[in-house]
Amino acid sequence: MECHYACRSSDHAIARRKFLAGMVAAGAGTMASGLEVFTRPAAAGLLAKDQKRVVVFYMHGGLSQLESWDPKPGTDTGGPFRSIETSVPGIRISELLPEVARQMHHLCLMRGVNTSEDDHGKGQYLMQTGRRQSPAADYPALGAVCARTMAPEGSAIPGHIVLLPWGGGGRGSDAAYLGPRYSSVHLAEGKPPQYTDRPGQVSEAMDAARQDFRRQVNERFLQRRRTAVTEAYTYSYEQALGLMRRKDVFDVSKEPPRDFDRYGKTAFGRHCLMTRRLLEQGATFVQVWHANYDTHNENFNFHLEQLGEFDRAFAAFVADLHDRGMLDSTLIVVNSEFGRTPGINHLYGRDHWSHAWSVVLAGGKIQRGAAYGKTNARGTEVVDGQVSSAALFHTYLQAVGVDSTDSFDIEGREMPIADPAAKAIQAVLA
């Protein structure tokens, strides 16, 4: 669907490559013997219980903080919506989020975000990597870092999954120097990865025989020419086979019908339910997109509709993770590339605004029922607790036990995991 209110930036386009074709570049890893242990449901359940996880709800286009986490009713910048009480006395959010308000005791509002980047592409890169985009260097996205540092070795489930409201079936190029093994796998419309069914004319015995032959040929070749690229091919085939064995992990239709009612029968609700299922089955990082908040006109009508969809599904997701004992081991992030201007333009819209906006955290080692940072009465600037994207990146990782001050060893060269000029926001870490 074309979004007539958006700025029509080219950054909104997403590649639609085929999933298994992209798997060819999936990176170095183990052979089938190392993968098979993780295809068993019992092993997957153990991983889901013990491992750390990260979920990012990415509000693509620029969610308005004034219509969500930092309302300013009764001011010339506040717009038509009221603020409401939450489950934490003294913390109020927009009336467009009544279900989320009931879950506020699990959340931490970061109301002092200042990233000083109003371009869609650069803002998205900044929020995903914690660093500014530069022609001199490329940095891995949070999902790639989590896959590298947290994903169980040999898991058949990709360590870096992105659920999109359109397209899907491809693979991102967001792992930088960590290598394509940690790049994102794109899924869409609540569907499992493509090509996970064995062709009908190929029997199980035939398939096993040809895979054995492929491994023998691969191993013979690797003995003479072993490189990161050749090992990437090996790993990609074995992970693809693992996905075929565990394709039911992605089958959200197996969830109870009542859960579809609770999450809402929308694409976003379905993706939230799939995310819960993936986490329970051992996924490490899932990013869920909700689009398109680039409301240069009709900002209020759009948020009225879109946040209603988000409110129901997100609140159910947070409540479920708490009820299932997963919130302490799962970090939840709600972010965007920037916020929206306090000023309202002549088209009843809000434009790009990165100087005073909000991000939401929950779970892991994050303080619960808190609001950190403050903007002035009109929401035009941060007056207390200002934070940067780099500081947030450190905080995300430390909230799930990753030492963000450490470095990756990339072919003998130390590459800091996060921007060494920044540090985590200790005030929100338990």
- How many residues can be counted in the chain? 430
What is the per-residue pLDDT across 408-430, written as a single tens digit (0 to 9) for each?
999 899 999 999 999 999 999 98
What is the per-residue pLDDT across 158-170, written as a single tens digit (0 to 9) for each?
899 999 998 767 7
pLDDT of 19 > 60? The answer is no
Better-predicted residue by pLDDT, 202 or 245: 202
Q: Max Cα separation, the chain? A: 73
Helices (H), 151-298: 204-224, 228-245, 257-263, 267-280
Residue 174 exposed, middle or buried by CB count within 10 Å (0-12, 13-18, 19+): buried
**What letter does residue 81 receive in the DSSP assignment?**
P
- Of the candidates 362, 356, 332, the residue with the CA atom closest to the CA atom of residue 430: 362
Across the range 332-345, mean pLDDT stands at 98
Considering just the CA atoms, what is the radius of gyration of the chain in Å?
22
Task: Answer for the pair 79, 300: CB distance below 8 angstroms, yes or no.
Answer: yes
Task: Answer for the pair 341, 353: CB distance below 8 angstroms, yes or no.
Answer: yes
- Tell me whether strands 357-363 and 330-335 are parallel, antiparallel or unpaired: antiparallel
Output the pTM of the full model: 0.85
The predicted pLDDT at position 27 comes to 37
Task: Answer for the pair 380, 410: CB distance below 8 angstroms, yes or no.
Answer: no
At position 421, the amino acid (one-letter code) is: A
All structural domains of the chain with their residue ranges: 10-428
For 10-428, which CATH class? Answer: alpha beta
At position 174, the amino acid (one-letter code) is: D
The predicted pLDDT at position 233 comes to 65
